[in-house]
Structure 1
């Protein structure tokens, strides 16, 4: 089904939860985020391929290596984030997007707006984090 979003559309609590407009809104938001991450990854790859280790000074070379390592870690996080975005897009397709994986309750629109890849409601996320803190092996 093709859904046309008004240009200034924002999901609201007054509408039915995860109606076609809300689903399309979040689908577009996720796709835009994914495209931005892929563009940044391409730019990183291009800069790594273009820049050789031409620094004669050992300090400059070490600094460049540190910068590259940090950039690669950032790209690895982005890669994992892209996988989570893809999972969220799958949930939109199969009708489970916006609902807590643990309780089945709706995830608040404010939470989804802030973190569109969220899979847990705030309450379930807080419980999960408390359990991690109490069962952590220090």
Structure 2
């Protein structure tokens, strides 16, 4: 059982997933910091630092803090937009794998076509050479 567990952990998928989670955590911290310390204060300059967290309504003893929920939605939208901009910028800088794979497929296909036509080309060249050698000049007769 220990050997199976070791094989499971050593699989590329598990390691890739672990790296993805760790990088995702670090990236989340960076994006949250960007939003909390740079973007939100900038927005606060323009809209006067509106904070909805004090908005509540009560039903009996229950408190519904819908203002905090609105703040969370606004933060989510800001974070989603920042991530969108980052991904868009990275996509412009990085070549797309699909395009590279498509080019590789086209090269392979053209190579296959060339290789398939090579015997026909060689046969046609031999036939042309044979005809040229067998032809005699009618003026020589």
Larger fraction in strand: 2
TM-score by length of 2: 0.30
Q: TM (normalized to structure 1)?
A: 0.31
Higher helix share: 2
Query: Which protein is bigger by CA-based radius of gyration?
Result: 2
